Amino acid sequence: MELVEPIRDKKQIQGMKKYLKGQNCRDWLLFTLGINSGLRVSDLLKLIVTDVKGKERIIIREQKTG
């Protein structure tokens, strides 16, 4: 298995956000949530609108690590 390094350069992150927002709002939102929360994609994909709509705060328990 190969090691995946996080993106640490803020310019690269902003560039990715700009690109994704121009392509697909869903992907932009998932990227933004993931980069700001540190959650895995598998945990983010399980969210539904009612989990977050109108909420000031959401609580997510990571499936893999609990």
- In a domain, residue 2? The reply is no
d(CA 50, CA 26): 16
33 belongs to a structural domain: yes
3-state secondary structure (DSSP) of residue 50: helix
Closest CA to 33 of 58, 15, 65: 58
Tell whether 59 is covered by a domain: no
Residue 17: which domain range?
Answer: 10-52
Give the pLDDT confidence score for residue 66 in this predicted structure: 63
pTM beyond cutoff 0.85: no
- Confidence label for 42 from pLDDT (cuts 50, 70 and 90): confident
Lowest mean pLDDT among 5-19, 21-35, 38-52: 38-52
64 in a domain, yes or no? no
Interaxial angle between packed helices 10-23 and 25-37, expressed in degrees from 0 to 180 and rounded to the nearest 10 = 150
Q: Is there a domain that residue 19 lies in? A: yes
Residue 44 lies in a domain: yes
Q: Is residue 1 in some structural domain?
A: no
Count: domains in the chain: 1
Cα separation, 43 vs 58, whole angstroms: 13
- Reading the block at residue 42, the tokens are 């598998």
| 39 in any annotated domain | yes
Mean pLDDT throughout 13-30? 93
DSSP 8-state assignment for residue 58: -
